[in-house]
């Protein structure tokens, strides 16, 4: 993180503005709305500044002098004279007073973000000074996306905080209560402008809530996709941000985990091949127990939970135990890796079907329907097949597939560490023998692999 974000209380605080032009005006407008006492040092004020705020500021109509910085909480320089700006910055920094020189990040000890103001809700966006245009674009998007009445909703929630505290003693239960408010009919009433009606409903809801009502939690089994966080669904993201606890396994990438609620507990239940960090039965039971404690539990799985993900097993016990659950599909490795490798899984000239199989070894061999896999005009996708690869290639050749059939291995597909190895059935085992290909790797077999020569589009940075 380039900067540490904070919000500063400027109420009644003495702030100095050096400069009296239009840029200073913009900053002064914001600082005044945060309640600051502002002194401006500038030979003259632009007429807009004079007209709008002339009465609310103290103006020293002269050039900046070194002694001007004494006694201020915050200093801003917005003059067109680089020497003055630099001098203000130096003096302020040596006196340990936070200073901002507009549009000159190298002279700043703090920078000001782009903001979306729905007071008391305030959203600040920063690109650390690297790309202000991007920050402004994001701000425009958020402005459009966040209803103006958010501020009213937040203020009303503030008004009823104490009342809810009296009615509900557990902090977690209060959070659940507010989550329902902001995502339910009460918020919708606010957004549609019926704030009096909304407030009445909120009042009633608080009266009806009490500590005796022990709430049952819920489990959300979420497909996190193959690695690139951009491939999450909206629903996955929304639920991830409401989690109390997150259970995740090895395939869930760090950037994706970072999108779960900041203060959610994280429990690693990951598996490597044949090495189960937490046995499956225990994971199933843990999900039930946590939900019974009233928690919102996110079970994050790589790819799609229903494709080689044991999702079915995990929710079976939930269903039997009467715990509510939702399942969110994710982009499975086959689809993510093939797309990011530029290999269409079906193609009118190459493959009319595709099959997904697991190449997981049992007792040193892979037990698959080889005749079915050797069918022509088909793409075969093998999950968990890296260790069994030589065996798989040999079996397919034995069952009539051409030894020159194209094959691709996609390692860490869709991520910035993606690597794609291509070859043919009879040489792939040798090709990879001396390279360090590691899990997770997906195998794609079929003539569609050749299309990659034309269609590859994704080039990871590393
Ligand atoms: N439920 C998951 C699959 C779990 S099985 C899904 O729908 O994708 C684990 C196997 O998936 C790995 O051994 C590997 O073959 C494949 N896999 C998962 N993520 C992958 C990725 N980012 N790149 C390559 N293969 C991946």
Q: Could you read off the pLDDT of 221-245 as tens digits, one per residue?
A: 999 999 999 999 988 988 898 888 9
Query: What pLDDT band is residue 274 in, cutting at 50, 70 and 90?
Result: low
Of 53, 78, 112, the residue that ends a domain is 112
Q: Give 206 Cα–ligand 1 centroid separation in angstroms.
A: 46
pLDDT tens-place string over residues 204-217: 888 887 654 556 78
pLDDT for residue 146? 81
pLDDT at 268 over 90: yes
Q: List the CATH number of the domain containing 78.
A: 3.40.50.720
Whole-number pLDDT of residue 215: 63
Q: What is the CATH number of the domain that holds 412?
A: 3.30.950.10
Distance (Å, whole) CA 361 – CA 366: 5
Could you tell me the residue range of the domain that residue 305 belongs to? 215-331
Tell me: pLDDT of 375 over 90.
yes
Total domain count, the chain: 3
Let me know if residue 422 belongs to a domain: yes
Mean pLDDT over 52-59 rounds to: 94
What pLDDT band is residue 276 in, cutting at 50, 70 and 90?
low
373 in a structural domain: yes
- Confirm whether 81 is a catalytic residue: no
Evaluate whether residue 72 is within a structural domain.
Answer: yes
More confident residue, 235 or 73: 73
Q: Verify that 319 and 389 share a domain, yes or no.
A: no
* Pair (373, 431) in one structural domain: yes
Residue that finishes a domain, picked among 112, 131, 165: 112
User: CB neighbours of 376 closer than 8 A, spacing ≥ 6?
Assistant: none
Mutate to test the pocket of ligand 1, among 236, 300, 303 (most ligand atoms within 8 A of CB): 303
Are 245 and 274 found together in one domain? yes
Residue 204 is assigned to a structural domain of this protein: no
- Picking from 310, 331, 352, the residue at the C-terminal end of a domain is 331
pLDDT band at residue 462 using 50, 70 and 90 as cut-offs? low
- Ligand 1 center to 47 CA (angstroms): 64
Model confidence at 68: pLDDT above 90: yes
Q: Reply yes or no on whether the pLDDT at 107 is more than 80.
A: yes
Same domain flag for 326 and 346: no
- Mean pLDDT (whole number) for 17-24: 96
User: Is 165 considered catalytic here?
Assistant: no
Cβ atoms of 321 and 327 closer than 8 Å: no
Are residues 305 and 403 both part of a single domain?
no
Mean pLDDT across the stretch 149-155?
87
Same domain for 227 and 310, yes or no, is: yes
Shared domain for 358 and 322, answered yes or no, is no
What is the pLDDT, as a whole number, of residue 308? 94
Q: Quick check: 138 pLDDT over 80?
A: yes
pLDDT for residue 299 is more than 90? yes
Say yes or no to pLDDT of 442 above 80: yes
> Does any ligand 1 atom lie closer than 6 A to the CB of residue 309?
yes
Residue of the nearest CA to atom 24 in ligand 1? 441
Q: Is residue 243 part of a domain?
A: yes
> Based on the domain organization, do 47 and 92 belong to the same domain?
yes
pLDDT band with cut points at 50, 70 and 90 for residue 263: confident
Determine the average pLDDT of the residues in 382-406: 96
| Domain assignment of residue 283, yes or no | yes
Say yes or no: 373 and 295 in one domain. no
User: What confidence category does residue 128 fall into, taking pLDDT thresholds of 50, 70 and 90?
Assistant: confident
278 located within any domain: yes
- Do 435 and 360 belong to one domain? yes
**Residue 61 covered by a domain:** yes
- pLDDT-derived band at 396 (thresholds 50, 70, 90) equals very high
- Ligand 1 within 6 A of CB of 413: yes
Query: In this predicted model, what pLDDT tens digit does every residue of 303-332 receive, in sequence order?
Result: 999 999 888 888 999 999 998 888 999 999
Mean pLDDT for all residues in the chain: 91
The reply to whether 312 and 373 lie within a common domain is no
Residues 108-112 have a mean pLDDT of: 93
- Could you tell me if the CB of 361 is within 6 A of ligand 1? no
pLDDT at residue 403 tops 90: yes
Residue 17 has pLDDT above 70, yes or no: yes
For residue 73, the model assigns a pLDDT of: 96
Query: What distance in angstroms lies between residue 411's CA and the mean position of ligand 1's atoms?
Result: 9
* 445: β partners: 380, 407
Q: What is the pLDDT of residue 2?
A: 82
For ligand 1, is residue 28 a contact (CB within 6 Å)?
no
The predicted model gives 108-125 an average pLDDT of 92
Instruction: Output the residue whose Cα is nearest ligand 1's atom 5.
Output: 308
pLDDT of residue 132: 79
At 272 the pLDDT is 54
**What is the share, in percent, of the chain residues with pLDDT greater than 70?**
97
Do 256 and 275 lie in a common domain? yes
In the predicted model, is pLDDT for residue 198 greater than 70? yes
79 lines ligand 1 (CB under 6 A): no
Average pLDDT over residues 82-92: 97
pLDDT confidence bin for 425, thresholds 50/70/90: very high
Give 454 Cα–ligand 1 centroid separation in angstroms: 25
Does ligand 1 lie within 6 Å of residue 253's CB atom? Answer: no
């Amino acid at each position: 993180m380039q900067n540490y974000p904070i919000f500063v209380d400027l109420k009644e605080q003495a702030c100095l503005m050096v400069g009296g032009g239009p840029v200073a005006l913009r900053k002064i407008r914001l600082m005044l709305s945060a309640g600051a006492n502002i002194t401006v040092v500038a030979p003259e004020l632009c007429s807009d500044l004079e007209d709008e705020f002339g009465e609310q500021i103290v103006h020293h109509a002269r050039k900046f002098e070194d002694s001007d910085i004494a006694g201020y909480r915050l200093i801003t320089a917005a003059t067109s004279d680089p020497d003055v700006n630099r001098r203000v910055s130096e003096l302020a920094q040596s006196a340990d007073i936070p200073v901002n020189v507009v549009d000159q990040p190298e002279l700043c000890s703090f920078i000001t973000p782009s903001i979306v103001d729905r007071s008391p809700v305030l959203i600040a966006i920063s690109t650390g000074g690297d790309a202000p245009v991007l920050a402004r674009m994001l701000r425009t998007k958020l402005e459009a996306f966040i209803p103006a009445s958010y501020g009213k909703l937040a203020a009303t929630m503030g008004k009823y905080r104490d009342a809810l505290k009296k009615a509900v003693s557990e902090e977690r239960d209060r959070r659940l209560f507010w989550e329902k408010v902001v995502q339910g009919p009460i918020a919708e009433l606010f957004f549609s402008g019926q704030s009096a009606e909304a407030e009445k409903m909120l009042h009633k809801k608080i009266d009806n809530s009490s500590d005796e009502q022990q709430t049952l939690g819920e489990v959300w089994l979420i497909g996190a996709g193959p690695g690139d966080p951009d491939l999450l669904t909206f629903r996955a993201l929304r639920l991830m941000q409401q989690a109390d606890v997150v259970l995740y396994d090895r395939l869930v990438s760090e950037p994706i985990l970072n999108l779960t609620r900041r203060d959610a507990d994280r429990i690693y239940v990951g598996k490597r091949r044949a090495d189960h960090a937490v046995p499956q039965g225990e994971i199933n039971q843990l999900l039930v127990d946590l939900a019974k404690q009233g928690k919102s539990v996110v079970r994050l799985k790589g790819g799609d939970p229903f494709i080689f993900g044991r999702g079915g097993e995990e929710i079976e016990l939930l269903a039997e135990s009467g715990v509510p659950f939702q399942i969110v599909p994710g982009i499975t490795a086959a689809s993510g890796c093939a797309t990011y490798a530029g290999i269409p899984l079906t193609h009118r000239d190459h493959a009319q079907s595709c099959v997904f199989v697991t190449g997981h070894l049992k007792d040193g061999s892979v037990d698959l329907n080889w005749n079915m896999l050797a069918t022509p005009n088909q793409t075969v996708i093998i999950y968990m097949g890296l260790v069994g690869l030589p065996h798989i290639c040999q079996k397919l050749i034995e069952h009539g597939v051409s030894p020159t059939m194209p094959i691709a291995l996609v390692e860490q597909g869709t991520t910035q560490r993606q690597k794609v190895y291509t070859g043919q059935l009879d040489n792939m085992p040798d090709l990879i023998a001396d390279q360090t290909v590691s899990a997770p790797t997906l195998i794609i077999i079929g003539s569609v692999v050749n299309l990659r020569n034309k269609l590859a589009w994704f080039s990871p940075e590393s």
